[in-house]
Structures are given as structure tokens and as C-alpha cells.
């Protein structure tokens, strides 16, 4: 262009006026000029077509696919390290593309650093605002950076920040949201069984919060995509309606021709690209990563949760109708169960030989049928089974009728009903109705109780000492075992004389508990019990435990000195400190702490040279909102967990044999979380502390015990005189 203007200027300057020759010359010049222009035009056309190709090209797909192919080759750790460094980098002087800043912001969100995420989101926004309109549109169409999304992310960061500070305030697990950096620490390799520990549950509860955020992001991304598509749809429809309205004259307008071709080329391509885009892929990947983490409860843990619920129901004789409304032992927890929940629980109850409980849950499921009518046949089919097991044959008959009315075409129901009628043909019971109680009646004669029943009834308070039996027990201050106790006597409450069971109050301090909580963080694992030949995970004991040697912290040695005062036993011969946490439904069924000969034979006992567990001291490191006591069925004692208290009992007879009357169990937790510490003191060498009897007092007759008491009394009298 510059060339042609100069040309004209030069021509005019030289000639000054237009002569014929001048005009002829001018025409030649004009021809040259035209040729130049044609050239220019072709250059321009080329440029335009190039630009069009550039614009119409599916944006960067080739490069993206090449990059994607390269991605797996990039060493992940280096990439993460680089990102890690970058998110902390100061912003001054850094001019990043908004896409890059957004990537860093998301990385920071992933690392639970909402503060850093906010910094990078601000950079994203300012970068975005500096884009020209075409670039902005490009970003929008590609759905990579949108102002509205960035704003939403800002809100998310603020939410995460307030959630974190709320957790800090409530003293719950602090690193709940620090998913990225603490991934390894938080996801122990053995996997966590969340129902067995509230501690674990608070952790996965935190992960669920993250999952919700990913889901929100997924919905938001797809929403933006749909919003864009819906807007285009509206525009296209409107243009088509106009065209239809005008008929063929519509295409006579070059403008309309242009609009239609533009739509069919560029606009539709954009729409296709967007429809084809993997919107929400990233949040989906993050969600999947969380869901696949070993901490996530799996089907067996779901069963464990139901198992825990059924245990609570059985042990505390709770009613399904209350449980389904969220009322646990009189306390309303504000939860409501659906027919499907009730059915799931009933199915497991039936499988685990709790037909009474199954029956009650099925009635609850039936009551709620309007919510999920499609479950009706399944409920009735299970009800038939439960009623049959409980001998309510008239009920079975009626339920079959209901089922056949509901699904008259079902050959299976007809076959089962026929079979049932054949089996019971001619029996009177078929027409007898039976009232089914949710819980079996409590036998009047305690000798009829099996061990689990006795333990359960002790937990629920149905089995306890009479006032007469309690009369002999004493409370008081203990000062004997150490001179120091004269200054700070131990508050002791006697719960049983023989075997000795004492509850000490205020024998551990909050500062010690705080240290213990720090020592046990991330160490607790699902507890096992001794099987016949090995230690096994079992529903008999659903807690999480860890052992810590006393050398690990001064506080453990201080506690042991106190235990020595409480028991007058030599703490050199004690096992490592055991800490346990029980979650909702968590329990430890009736057991004895002492080892059987079998356990010694199979070498299941650690440090067997120290002998058997002569005594136990059980510290309560927390209160428990509901349930979670320690039940001694033989002693008819139920100890409510009381923070700072500790129970002490001898496990062995004075002659060394295991005392079966020390059988005890940790009652299931209804609500709350229970922390305890076990000190298991071994038999060797305690002879100077608790003298061994030469005769076996475990098989002593009443007469022998009376004789012994008499001798001891006489000896004491002699000593004091
Ligand atoms: O947690 C309790 O109440 C009892 C625990 C217990 O008996 C044990 O760990 O051996
Ligand atoms: Fe125990």
C-alpha cells in the first residue's frame, strides 16, 4: 500500500499537470498499479484464507493429543515438585497465562492450601481481564477459564478455609483436608475400617467434604457447558424460525447467506468441539482418586456398620422403630432411615441369625413403603423367612398371600408357597398365630444365660448387684502403697472383693492424655484377638489399637509409677502401653485378659518368660456420650467410662491360675468415641508384692476359703499387736 501512494505522489510531482502523453503514461502507470493491486489482493486473499483456516482449525487438538501422548513420560514427582515450588512462588513480576495460574490455583486447592489458591485465583482473574475480547471468547469456547468459575472457586476456597478453622477449633482431626501432601500418612497401607473407630470416621468424613467439592466442580463445569450449548441452541433456533418465516426470500439477502454459512461452518464446529469436550474430567478424576483410596469404606465395612448397629440393638434391647427414627436409647440423633436402609439391616440380621431383629426391621421397612414401593416384594419375601424361623406359620401364610397378590405371575413365589404348605400340611401350628417380640425375654434363672447374653445384660444394666450385695463394698482414700500418697491419696472405689476390682478416680491428667493423643496419632490399627493358632481380626473386638513402649515418652514412665502405687505391683514386668479407640458400635465382647495354656503353646504370647497377666489397669482417657462401659458379668458390675479414672483387677488367682470370674467386655458404643489405655502387668517377678498361694484357690471349696480368711485375719492381728 505504501508503495502505490508514493508512486502517485512521485508522478504528480514530476508532471505537475496532465498532458495527453502524461495521461497515456498515467494509464500505463495505472495498469502497473492495477497489477500491483491484484497482487496485493491475492496476498490479502491468501492471508484471509490463512486466517480462516487458523480460526476454523479445531483448536490445538493436534498439539493437545501430542501433549497428552507425552504426558505419561513426564516424571510425575518432578512435575509435582515443580508445582509445589511454584504455588509458593511470589507473584511480583511473574506474568502467567490465566490458564497456568488457574492450574496452580487448582493444585493449591488439591493441596488444601486455600490461602495459596486464592492468590493464584486472583492472578487468574487479572490475567483473564487483560485478555482481548477475541482471546476471552476463545477461552470461553474452550471452557477453560471463565470469570464465573473463578468466582465460584474463590467461594470454595473461603468455604474450605472456614471448614479448616472450624475443625481446628473443635479439636477434630486437623489434617482432614490436607489430602495431597499428607496422602501417605493419612492412608495407612493396611486400610482403615471406619466403623470400628470414630477417629477413622472423622477422617473419611473429611474426605467426603472434598468429594462434594469435586462433585460441585463437575456439576459447575457441565452446567457452564450446557449453558453455552443452550444459549447457542436458542440462537440457532431463532435464526431458523426467522428463515422459515421469510421463506426463500431469506436467502436472497447476502447477509443471511453469510449468516447461514457462518453458522454451518464456524458456529457448529464450536458447538461440536464443546459437545465433544471431556467437561468435568478433572473433578471426576479427583473424585475417583478419593473414592479408590484405601481409607474409603468398602462393602465389608458397610456390613461392619450394620453389624455394629445390630449389636447395639441386641445388647441394649433397642427397638427398630426407634432406631429407624434416629432415637438411640432415648436420645434423638435426628436421622431417618429409608425403607432400603431398613431392608439392608433386616437382610443382614437374618443372615446372622437374628430373626427377631430382622422381623422388626422388615416391619419398619413395610411401614415406610410409600417412599419406595418397588421394594414391597423383597420385603415380603424376607418377612416370610423371618416369620418361618420364628415359627409364626399363620404369619408366613398371610405374607405369602400378600406376596402372591402382589406378583401373581411369579412362579418362584408359587413354588415356595406350595413347598411351605406341603411341609406343614396337617400341622396345627399352620393356623396358629404367634406374637413376635423384638427381643427374647430375659430368663429368670441366670444359669440359663449364655455368656454373650450375660455380658449384654450387664451392659444394658439388666444384670446388676442387688442393694444387699452392694452393701459390703467400700469407697475411700488410699495412702498405703507409697508415702507420697499421704499427701495425695488415691480415691478408690471398691467394686468387688473377690476377685479384687477397684476403680480409682482422677489418676491421669489432661496434659498426659494430650501427650498420649499426640503419640498415638496415625498409629492405631484394627485390633485382633487370639484365635486358636494365630491373632485374627474379628467382630468380637471392633476397635483400633496401638502398643507404645514406655521408653518412647517420659509420660508413660510417670503413669507407670502411679500404676505401681495403685497396684503395689512391680512395673518392670509389664507389657508395652496399649491404647485403644472404639467407634460407634465398637465393642470387645466378653473375654479374659489372661492367656490360656494354648496361647503359650502356640507362641502367641509376647515375652512368655514374664508369665501370665497377673493384673490389668484400664485407664479411661475419654468420657463416652452413650454406651461403652466395661461389663463384668460374673461380678454383676458395669463401669461407666469416666475420663481420668482407671479400673484395676487381678486376673489370676493367688495360686497363679486364671480366674474366670474376671471375664469382662467393652460394651458397644451408642454415641461418641472411647479411648482407653491398658496396662497389663505380668506375673514375674511379683512374689514380693503379691504372694502366691501354695494351694490352688481357683478350685477352693467354700470351707477352704473361710479357713484362709480366718488365717489371714489372725496373721494381721498378730502383726498389728
Ligand atoms: O475398653 C474396655 O472397657 C475394656 C477393654 C478390654 O477389656 C481389653 O482391651 O482387654
Ligand atoms: Fe480386657
Specify the higher pLDDT residue, 281 or 578: 578
In this predicted structure, what is the pLDDT of residue 429?
72
**Is 567 a member of any domain?**
yes
Q: Is the CB of 676 under 6 A from ligand 1?
A: yes
How does residue 679 score in pLDDT terms, banded at 50, 70 and 90? Answer: very high
pLDDT at residue 15 above 80?
no
Among 592, 628, 630, 639, which residue has the most ligand 1 atoms within 8 Å of its CB, making it the best to mutate? 630
Distance, CA of 21 to CA of 89 (rounded, Å): 74
Q: Is the CB of 617 under 6 A from ligand 1?
A: no
Among 542, 665, 681, which residue has the most ligand 1 atoms within 8 Å of its CB, making it the best to mutate? 665
DSSP string, 580-617: EEE-BT--EEEE-SSPPHHHHHTT-SSSGGG-SEEEEE
In this predicted structure, what is the pLDDT of residue 109?
72
Tell me which of 230, 264, 297 is where a domain ends: 297
pLDDT digits 0-9 by tens, 201-224 = 666 677 777 778 888 888 888 888
For strands 475-478 and 490-496, give the pairing: antiparallel
pLDDT at residue 86 above 60?
yes
Q: Name 292's Cβ contacts closer than 8 Å, sequence gap at least 6.
A: none
For the chain, the average pLDDT equals 78
Residue percentage of the chain with pLDDT more than 70:
72
pLDDT at residue 672 above 70?
yes
- 220 and 343 assigned to the same domain: no
**Is 630 a member of any domain?**
yes
Residue nearest atom 9 of ligand 1, based on CA coordinates:
678
Mean pLDDT over 211-238 rounds to 85
Contact 49, 67 (CB under 8 A): no
Backbone phi and psi for residue 197, each to the nearest 5 degrees, phi listed first: -155, 130
In angstroms, what is the span from residue 676 Cα to ligand 1's centroid?
8
- 403 and 520 assigned to the same domain: no
pLDDT digits 0-9 by tens, 437-494 = 999 999 988 888 999 999 999 999 999 999 999 888 888 777 666 666 666 678 889 8
In this predicted structure, what is the pLDDT of residue 160?
58
pLDDT at residue 559 above 50?
yes
DSSP string, 411-455: HHHHHHHHHHHHHHTT-GGGG---PPPSSPPPPSSGGG--HHHHH
Picking from 36-45, 517-526, 656-665, 685-694, which range would have the lowest pLDDT averaged per residue?
A: 36-45
In this predicted structure, what is the pLDDT of residue 180?
25
Picking from 105-119, 164-178, 702-716, which range would have the lowest pLDDT averaged per residue?
A: 164-178
- Supply 228's cell numbers: 453455552
Distance, CA of 647 to CA of 503 (rounded, Å): 4
Closest ligand 1 atom to Cα of 665? 7
In this predicted structure, what is the pLDDT of residue 120?
81
pLDDT digits 0-9 by tens, 571-616 = 988 999 999 988 777 889 999 999 998 888 888 888 898 999 999 9
- Supply 455's cell numbers: 455380658
**Is 219 a member of any domain?**
yes
In angstroms, what is the span from residue 19 Cα to ligand 2's centroid?
124
- 633 and 657 assigned to the same domain: yes
Distance, CA of 695 to CA of 558 (rounded, Å): 36
HEC letters along 499-515: CCEEEEECCCCHHHHHH
Residue nearest atom 5 of ligand 1, based on CA coordinates:
666
Q: Is the CB of 593 under 6 A from ligand 1?
A: yes
Q: Is 638 helix (H, G, I), strand (E, B) or coil?
A: strand
pLDDT digits 0-9 by tens, 44-56 = 666 655 555 555 5
Q: Is 323 helix (H, G, I), strand (E, B) or coil?
A: helix
pLDDT digits 0-9 by tens, 622-654 = 999 899 999 999 999 999 999 999 999 999 998
In this predicted structure, what is the pLDDT of residue 156?
65
Residues 666/668/671/674 CA torsion (nearest 10 deg) = 30
In this predicted structure, what is the pLDDT of residue 139?
63
In this predicted structure, what is the pLDDT of residue 408?
93
What is the ipTM for the molecules in this complex? 0.99
- 218 and 277 assigned to the same domain: yes
Distance, CA of 384 to CA of 414 (rounded, Å): 13
Residue 468: C-alpha distances to residues 464, 465, 471, 472 (Å): 11, 8, 5, 8
Closest ligand 1 atom to Cα of 527? 9
Domain containing 583 — which CATH number?
2.60.120.620
Owner of C-alpha cell 478419593: 290
Q: Is the CB of 678 under 6 A from ligand 1?
A: yes
Picking from 109-118, 283-292, 323-332, 367-376, which range would have the lowest pLDDT averaged per residue?
A: 109-118
Report which of 305, 235, 287, 229 is spatially closest to residue 263, judged by C-alpha positions: 235
**Is 342 a member of any domain?**
yes
In this predicted structure, what is the pLDDT of residue 319?
96
In this predicted structure, what is the pLDDT of residue 351?
95
Distance, CA of 666 to CA of 541 (rounded, Å): 9
HEC letters along 359-385: HHHHHHHHHCHHHCHHHHHHHHHHHHH
pLDDT at residue 547 above 90?
yes
In angstroms, what is the span from residue 681 Cα to ligand 2's centroid?
12
- How many domains does the chain contain in total? 5
Distance, CA of 408 to CA of 217 (rounded, Å): 47
Q: Can you give the residue range of the structural domain that contains 125?
A: 85-171
- 252 and 397 assigned to the same domain: no
- 668 and 537 assigned to the same domain: yes
In this predicted structure, what is the pLDDT of residue 516?
95
Distance, CA of 621 to CA of 524 (rounded, Å): 15
Contact 326, 332 (CB under 8 A): yes
In this predicted structure, what is the pLDDT of residue 178?
25
Q: Is the CB of 588 under 6 A from ligand 1?
A: yes
Handedness of CA 108, 111, 115, 116 (dihedral sign): negative
- 133 and 201 assigned to the same domain: no
Picking from 79-93, 292-306, 438-452, which range would have the lowest pLDDT averaged per residue?
A: 79-93
- 494 and 584 assigned to the same domain: yes
Distance, CA of 694 to CA of 450 (rounded, Å): 33
pLDDT digits 0-9 by tens, 165-196 = 655 554 333 222 322 222 222 222 223 333 44
**Is 307 a member of any domain?**
no
Q: Is the CB of 618 under 6 A from ligand 1?
A: yes
Residue 670: C-alpha distances to residues 309, 315, 331, 625 (Å): 9, 10, 10, 8
- 538 and 661 assigned to the same domain: yes
Domain containing 359 — which CATH number?
1.25.40.10
- Nearest bound ligand to CA 545? 1
pLDDT digits 0-9 by tens, 377-423 = 999 999 999 999 998 989 999 999 999 999 999 999 999 999 998 88
Fill in the DSSP letter of residue 326.
T
Tell me which of 401, 431, 461 is where a domain ends: 431
Among 198, 666, 674, 675, which residue has the most ligand 1 atoms within 8 Å of its CB, making it the best to mutate? 666
In this predicted structure, what is the pLDDT of residue 355?
97
In angstroms, what is the span from residue 666 Cα to ligand 1's centroid?
5
- 564 and 652 assigned to the same domain: yes
- In angstroms and rounded to an integer, the radius of gyration of the C-alpha atoms of the chain is 40
In angstroms, what is the span from residue 589 Cα to ligand 1's centroid?
9
- Nearest bound ligand to CA 651? 2
Distance, CA of 167 to CA of 175 (rounded, Å): 9
Residue nearest atom 10 of ligand 1, based on CA coordinates:
593
Distance, CA of 397 to CA of 378 (rounded, Å): 16
Distance, CA of 23 to CA of 228 (rounded, Å): 60
**Is 695 a member of any domain?**
no
Closest ligand 1 atom to Cα of 676? 1
**Is 305 a member of any domain?**
no
- 289 and 322 assigned to the same domain: no
pLDDT at residue 687 above 60?
yes
**Is 493 a member of any domain?**
yes
In angstroms, what is the span from residue 294 Cα to ligand 1's centroid?
27
Tell me which of 171, 192, 224 is where a domain ends: 171
Q: Is the CB of 196 under 6 A from ligand 1?
A: no
- 161 and 189 assigned to the same domain: no
Mean pLDDT over 6-17 rounds to 39
Specify the higher pLDDT residue, 312 or 13: 312
How does residue 102 score in pLDDT terms, banded at 50, 70 and 90? Answer: confident
In angstroms, what is the span from residue 16 Cα to ligand 1's centroid?
116
Amino acid at each position: 500500500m505504501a508503495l502505490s501512494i508514493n508512486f502517485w505522489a512521485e508522478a504528480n510531482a514530476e508532471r505537475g499537470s496532465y498532458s495527453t502523453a502524461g495521461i497515456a503514461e498515467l494509464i500505463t502507470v495505472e495498469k502497473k498499479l492495477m497489477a500491483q493491486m491484484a497482487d496485493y489482493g491475492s496476498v490479502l486473499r491468501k492471508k484471509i484464507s490463512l486466517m480462516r483456516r487458523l480460526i476454523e482449525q479445531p483448536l490445538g487438538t493436534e498439539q493437545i493429543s501430542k501433549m497428552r501422548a507425552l504426558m505419561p513420560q513426564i516424571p510425575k514427582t518432578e512435575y509435582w515438585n515443580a508445582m509445589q515450588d511454584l504455588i509458593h512462588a511470589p507473584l511480583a513480576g511473574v506474568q502467567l497465562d490465566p490458564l497456568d495460574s488457574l492450574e496452580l490455583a487448582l493444585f493449591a486447592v488439591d493441596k488444601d492450601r486455600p490461602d495459596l489458591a486464592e492468590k493464584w485465583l486472583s492472578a487468574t482473574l487479572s490475567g483473564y481481564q487483560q485478555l482481548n475480547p477475541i482471546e476471552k471468547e476463545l477461552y470461553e469456547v474452550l471452557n477453560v477459564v471463565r470469570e464465573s468459575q473463578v468466582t465460584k472457586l474463590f467461594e470454595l476456597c473461603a468455604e474450605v478455609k472456614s471448614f479448616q478453622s472450624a475443625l481446628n477449633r473443635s479439636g477434630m482431626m486437623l489434617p482432614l483436608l490436607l489430602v495431597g501432601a499428607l496422602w501417605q500418612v493419612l492412608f495407612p497401607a493396611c486400610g482403615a475400617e471406619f466403623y470400628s473407630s470414630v477417629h477413622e470416621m472423622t477422617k473419611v468424613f473429611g474426605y467426603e467434604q472434598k468429594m462434594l467439592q469435586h462433585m460441585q466442580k463437575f456439576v459447575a463445569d457441565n452446567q457452564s457447558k450446557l449453558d453455552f450449548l443452550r444459549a447457542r441452541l436458542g440462537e440457532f433456533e431463532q435464526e431458523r424460525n426467522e428463515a422459515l418465516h421469510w421463506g426463500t426470500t431469506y436467502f436472497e439477502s447476502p447477509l443471511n447467506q453469510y449468516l447461514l454459512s457462518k453458522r454451518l461452518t464456524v458456529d457448529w464446529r464450536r458447538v461440536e468441539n464443546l459437545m465433544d469436550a471431556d467437561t468435568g474430567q478433572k473433578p471426576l478424576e479427583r473424585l475417583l482418586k478419593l473414592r479408590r483410596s484405601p481409607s474409603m469404606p468398602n462393602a465389608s465395612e458397610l456390613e461392619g456398620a450394620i453389624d455394629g448397629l445390630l449389636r447395639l440393638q441386641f445388647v441394649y434391647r433397642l427397638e427398630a422403630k426407634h432406631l429407624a427414627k434416629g432415637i438411640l436409647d432415648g436420645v434423638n440423633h435426628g436421622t431417618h432411615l429409608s425403607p432400603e436402609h431398613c431392608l439392608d439391616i433386616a437382610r443382614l440380621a437374618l443372615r446372622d441369625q437374628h430373626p427377631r431383629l430382622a422381623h422388626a426391621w422388615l416391619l419398619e421397612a413395610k411401614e415406610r413403603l410409600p417412599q419406595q414401593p418397588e421394594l414391597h416384594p423383597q420385603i415380603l419375601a424376607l418377612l416370610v423367612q423371618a416369620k418361618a424361623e420364628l415359627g409364626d406359620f399363620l404369619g408366613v401364610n398371610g405374607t405369602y398371600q400378600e406376596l402372591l397378590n402382589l406378583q401373581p405371575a411369579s412362579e418362584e413365589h408359587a413354588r415356595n408357597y406350595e413347598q411351605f404348605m406341603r411341609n406343614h400340611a396337617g400341622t396345627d401350628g399352620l393356623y396358629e398365630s404367634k406374637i413376635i417380640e423384638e427381643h427374647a425375654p430375659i430368663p429368670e434363672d441366670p444359669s440359663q444365660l449364655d455368656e454373650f447374653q450375660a455380658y449384654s445384660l450387664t451392659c444394658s444394666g439388666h444384670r446388676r448387684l442387688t442393694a444387699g450385695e452392694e452393701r459390703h463394698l467400700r469407697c475411700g482414700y488410699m495412702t498405703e502403697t507409697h508415702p507420697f500418697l499421704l499427701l495425695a491419696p488415691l480415691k478408690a472405689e471398691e467394686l468387688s472383693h473377690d476377685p479384687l476390682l477397684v476403680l480409682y478416680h482422677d489418676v491421669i491428667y489432661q496434659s498426659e492424655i494430650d501427650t498420649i493423643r499426640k503419640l498415638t496419632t496415625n498409629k492405631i490399627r484394627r485390633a485382633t484377638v487370639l484365635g486358636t493358632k494365630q491373632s485374627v481380626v474379628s467382630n468380637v473386638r471392633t476397635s483400633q489399637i496401638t502398643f507404645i513402649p514406655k521408653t518412647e515418652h517420659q509420660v508413660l514412665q510417670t503413669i507407670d509409677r502411679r500404676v505401681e502405687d495403685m497396684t503395689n505391683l512391680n512395673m518392670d514386668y509389664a507389657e508395652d502401653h496399649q491404647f485403644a479407640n472404639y467407634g460407634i458400635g465398637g465393642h470387645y465382647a466378653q473375654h479374659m485378659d489372661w492367656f490360656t495354656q494354648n496361647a503359650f503353646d502356640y507362641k502367641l504370647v509376647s515375652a512368655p518368660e514374664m508369665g501370665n497377666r497377673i493384673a490389668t489397669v484400664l485407664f479411661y482417657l475419654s468420657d463416652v456420650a452413650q454406651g461403652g462401659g466395661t461389663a463384668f458379668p460374673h461380678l454383676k458390675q458395669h463401669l461407666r467410662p469416666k475420663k481420668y479414672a482407671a479400673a484395676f483387677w487381678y486376673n489370676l488367682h493367688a495360686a497363679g491360675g486364671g480366674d474366670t470370674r474376671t471375664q469382662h467386655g467393652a460394651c458397644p458404643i451408642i454415641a461418641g468415641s472411647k479411648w482407653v489405655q491398658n496396662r497389663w502387668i505380668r506375673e514375674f517377678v511379683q512374689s514380693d508384692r503379691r504372694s502366691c498361694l501354695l494351694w490352688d484357690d481357683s478350685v477352693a471349696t467354700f470351707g477352704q476359703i473361710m479357713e484362709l480368711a480366718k488365717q489371714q485375719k489372725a496373721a494381721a492381728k498378730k502383726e498389728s499387736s
